[in-house]
Structure 1
Amino acid sequence: MKAYTIVGLAAVGALALSACTGGGGGGTGTGPESGGEPVIDGTLNYAIARDPGMLFSPLNASGTLGSVSQWAYESLIYFDADGQPQGWLATDWEQTPTSLHFEVRDDAVCADGTKLTAETIANNFRWIADPANNSTAINLVVPSTAKIENDDKSVTITTVEPDPFMITAIGSQAIYCQAALDDPQSVSTASNGTGMFNVTEVVTGDHLTLERRDDYSWAPEGAAIGTTPGVPKTVVLKIIENESTRANLLLSGELNVGTITGPDGDRLEGKVDVLNSGMLLTGGFLYSQAEGRPTADKNVRIALTKALDLDELMQVSTAGKGERAQRLATVDPQVCQYDAVGPNLPKTDVAGAEKLLDEAGWVKGADGKRSKDGQPLVLEFAWQSKGAEIASTAEMMADQWAEIGVGVNHDGSEYGAFIEKISTPGAASKIDVMWLNANYPVPSALMVYFTGETPPKGNNFAALKNPKFDELVKKANNSTGAEGCKAWEAAEGEMYASADYVPFAMMSHPTFAQGISEYGIEKFAPSTILVK
Structure 2
Amino acid sequence: MKTTTIVGLAAIGALALSACSSGGGGAAGGSGEPVIDGTLKFAINEDPGSLFRPANSSATLSYVYPWAYESPVYFNPEGEPQGWLAESWEDTPTSVTFTIRDDATCSDGTKLTAETVANNYRWIADPANGSSFLGLVVPADAQVENDERSVTLTTATPNSFLLTALGTHPIYCQAALDDPDSTVSATNGTGLFQLAEAVPGDHYTFERRDDYTWGPEGAPTGATPGVPKEVVISVIENASTRANLLLSGELNLSTVAGPDEDRVASALEPYTQIMGITGGFVYSQAEGQPTADKNVRIALTKALDLDALMKVNTAGRGERATRLAVTPPQVCQYDAATPNLPKTDIAGAEKLLDEAGWVKGADGIRAKDGEKLELDFAWQTRWAENAATAELAADQWAEIGVGVNHLGTDYGAFMERVGKEGSASELDVIWIAPNYPVPSVLSSFFSGPAPTGGNNFGAVSNPEFDRLVAETTGSTGAEACAGWEAAEAEMFASADYVSFAMRPDVTYGRGVKAVIQPSGMDTYVTGVTLVNE
Instruction: Provide TM-score, normalisation by structure 1.
Output: 0.90
Instruction: After TM superposition, give the deviation of residue 141 of structure 1 in Å.
Output: 1.0
| Equivalence for 2:531 | none
| Equivalence for 2:39 | 43
User: Does the Cα contact within 8 Å between 1:381 and 1:431 map onto a contact in 2?
Assistant: yes
Question: Structure 2 vs 1, CA of residues 226 and 98 (structure 1 numbering), >3 Å: closer, same or farther?
Answer: same
Out of 291, 310, 315, the position equivalent to 2:311 is 315
For residues 450-489 of structure 1, what are the structure 2 equivalents within 5 Å?
A: 450-489=446-485
Equivalent-residue separation in structure 2 for 1:283 and 1:445 (angstroms): 18
Amino acid at match of 1:144: A
Equivalent-residue separation in structure 2 for 1:498 and 1:463 (angstroms): 14
User: Does the Cα contact within 8 Å between 2:206 and 2:231 map onto a contact in 1?
Assistant: yes
| Equivalence for 1:237 | 233
| Equivalence for 1:432 | 428
Q: How many residues align?
A: 517
The CA deviation string for residues 383-412 of structure 1, in whole angstroms up to 9 with x for no partner, is 221222111111111222222232222232
SS in 2 for 1:22: coil
For residues 306-455 of structure 1, what are the structure 2 equivalents within 5 Å?
A: 306-455=302-451
Instruction: After TM superposition, give the deviation of residue 25 of structure 1 in Å.
Output: 4.5
| Equivalence for 2:495 | 499
User: Does the Cα contact within 8 Å between 2:283 and 2:458 map onto a contact in 1?
Assistant: yes
Instruction: After TM superposition, give the deviation of residue 296 of structure 1 in Å.
Output: 2.1
The CA deviation string for residues 448-475 of structure 1, in whole angstroms up to 9 with x for no partner, is 2121222333222222111110001111
Question: Structure 2 vs 1, CA of residues 60 and 413 (structure 1 numbering), >3 Å: closer, same or farther?
Answer: farther
Equivalent-residue separation in structure 2 for 1:459 and 1:112 (angstroms): 37
Amino acid at match of 2:167: G
Amino acid at match of 2:501: A
Comparing 453-462 with 167-176, greater Cα deviation is found at 453-462
| Equivalence for 1:18 | 18
Equivalent-residue separation in structure 2 for 1:235 and 1:405 (angstroms): 55
Out of 117, 120, 132, the position equivalent to 1:124 is 120
Comparing 435-444 with 466-475, greater Cα deviation is found at 435-444
User: Does the Cα contact within 8 Å between 1:324 and 1:504 map onto a contact in 2?
Assistant: yes
Equivalent-residue separation in structure 2 for 1:215 and 1:37 (angstroms): 23
User: Does the Cα contact within 8 Å between 1:134 and 1:457 map onto a contact in 2?
Assistant: no
Question: Structure 2 vs 1, CA of residues 413 and 125 (structure 1 numbering), >3 Å: closer, same or farther?
Answer: same
Is 1:275 paired with 2:271? yes
Equivalent-residue separation in structure 1 for 2:488 and 2:221 (angstroms): 42
User: Does the Cα contact within 8 Å between 2:68 and 2:193 map onto a contact in 1?
Assistant: yes
SS in 1 for 2:490: helix
Percent sequence identity over aligned pairs: 63
The CA deviation string for residues 341-393 of structure 1, in whole angstroms up to 9 with x for no partner, is 12211111222222322333333322122333333332222222122211111
Equivalent-residue separation in structure 1 for 2:412 and 2:176 (angstroms): 23
Comparing 161-170 with 398-407, greater Cα deviation is found at 398-407
Equivalent-residue separation in structure 2 for 1:321 and 1:510 (angstroms): 11
Equivalent-residue separation in structure 2 for 1:45 and 1:379 (angstroms): 46
The CA deviation string for residues 121-150 of structure 1, in whole angstroms up to 9 with x for no partner, is 111112222333332112211211112110
Comparing 403-412 with 308-317, greater Cα deviation is found at 403-412
Instruction: After TM superposition, give the deviation of residue 501 of structure 1 in Å.
Output: 0.7
Unpaired stretches in structure 2, ≥5 consecutive residues: 1-10, 529-533
Instruction: After TM superposition, give the deviation of residue 12 of structure 1 in Å.
Output: 6.8
Equivalent-residue separation in structure 1 for 2:299 and 2:501 (angstroms): 20
Unpaired stretches in structure 1, ≥5 consecutive residues: 1-10
Equivalent-residue separation in structure 1 for 2:226 and 2:420 (angstroms): 46
For residues 50-449 of structure 1, what are the structure 2 equivalents within 5 Å?
A: 50-262=46-258, 264-269=260-265, 271-449=267-445
Question: Structure 2 vs 1, CA of residues 17 and 278 (structure 1 numbering), >3 Å: closer, same or farther?
Answer: closer
Comparing 505-514 with 84-93, greater Cα deviation is found at 505-514
The CA deviation string for residues 65-114 of structure 1, in whole angstroms up to 9 with x for no partner, is 21112112110011124322111111111112221111101222223333
Comparing 212-221 with 21-30, greater Cα deviation is found at 21-30
SS in 1 for 2:280: strand
Amino acid at match of 2:393: M
SS in 2 for 1:366: coil
User: Does the Cα contact within 8 Å between 2:15 and 2:524 map onto a contact in 1?
Assistant: no
Equivalent-residue separation in structure 1 for 2:279 and 2:12 (angstroms): 24
User: Does the Cα contact within 8 Å between 1:46 and 1:255 map onto a contact in 2?
Assistant: yes
SS in 2 for 1:358: helix
User: Does the Cα contact within 8 Å between 1:422 and 1:461 map onto a contact in 2?
Assistant: yes
SS in 2 for 1:312: helix
Question: Structure 2 vs 1, CA of residues 341 and 97 (structure 1 numbering), >3 Å: closer, same or farther?
Answer: same
Amino acid at match of 1:15: L
Equivalent-residue separation in structure 2 for 1:418 and 1:109 (angstroms): 41
Amino acid at match of 2:480: G
SS in 1 for 2:64: helix
Q: CA RMSD in A?
A: 2.5
The CA deviation string for residues 423-480 of structure 1, in whole angstroms up to 9 with x for no partner, is 3333323332222222222222221212122233322222211111000111121223
Equivalent-residue separation in structure 2 for 1:139 and 1:29 (angstroms): 46
Comparing 236-245 with 218-227, greater Cα deviation is found at 236-245
SS in 2 for 1:311: helix
User: Does the Cα contact within 8 Å between 2:114 and 2:148 map onto a contact in 1?
Assistant: yes
Equivalent-residue separation in structure 1 for 2:524 and 2:150 (angstroms): 22
Instruction: After TM superposition, give the deviation of residue 172 of structure 1 in Å.
Output: 0.3
SS in 1 for 2:124: helix
Equivalent-residue separation in structure 2 for 1:133 and 1:527 (angstroms): 31
| Equivalence for 1:28 | 27
SS in 2 for 1:237: strand
Equivalent-residue separation in structure 1 for 2:444 and 2:391 (angstroms): 29
User: Does the Cα contact within 8 Å between 1:15 and 1:516 map onto a contact in 2?
Assistant: yes
Comparing 196-205 with 231-240, greater Cα deviation is found at 196-205
| Equivalence for 1:7 | none
Comparing 130-139 with 496-505, greater Cα deviation is found at 130-139
Question: Structure 2 vs 1, CA of residues 229 and 421 (structure 1 numbering), >3 Å: closer, same or farther?
Answer: farther
User: Does the Cα contact within 8 Å between 1:71 and 1:196 map onto a contact in 2?
Assistant: yes
Instruction: After TM superposition, give the deviation of residue 51 of structure 1 in Å.
Output: 2.7
User: Does the Cα contact within 8 Å between 1:28 and 1:516 map onto a contact in 2?
Assistant: yes
SS in 2 for 1:167: helix
| Equivalence for 1:6 | none
Instruction: Provide TM-score, normalisation by structure 2.
Output: 0.90
Instruction: After TM superposition, give the deviation of residue 55 of structure 1 in Å.
Output: 2.4
The CA deviation string for residues 37-63 of structure 1, in whole angstroms up to 9 with x for no partner, is 222332222122333233222232222
Question: Structure 2 vs 1, CA of residues 454 and 530 (structure 1 numbering), >3 Å: closer, same or farther?
Answer: farther
Equivalent-residue separation in structure 2 for 1:395 and 1:515 (angstroms): 41
User: Does the Cα contact within 8 Å between 1:24 and 1:250 map onto a contact in 2?
Assistant: no
User: Does the Cα contact within 8 Å between 1:71 and 1:527 map onto a contact in 2?
Assistant: no
Instruction: After TM superposition, give the deviation of residue 521 of structure 1 in Å.
Output: 8.3
SS in 2 for 1:383: strand
Equivalent-residue separation in structure 2 for 1:30 and 1:121 (angstroms): 44
Equivalent-residue separation in structure 2 for 1:201 and 1:415 (angstroms): 28
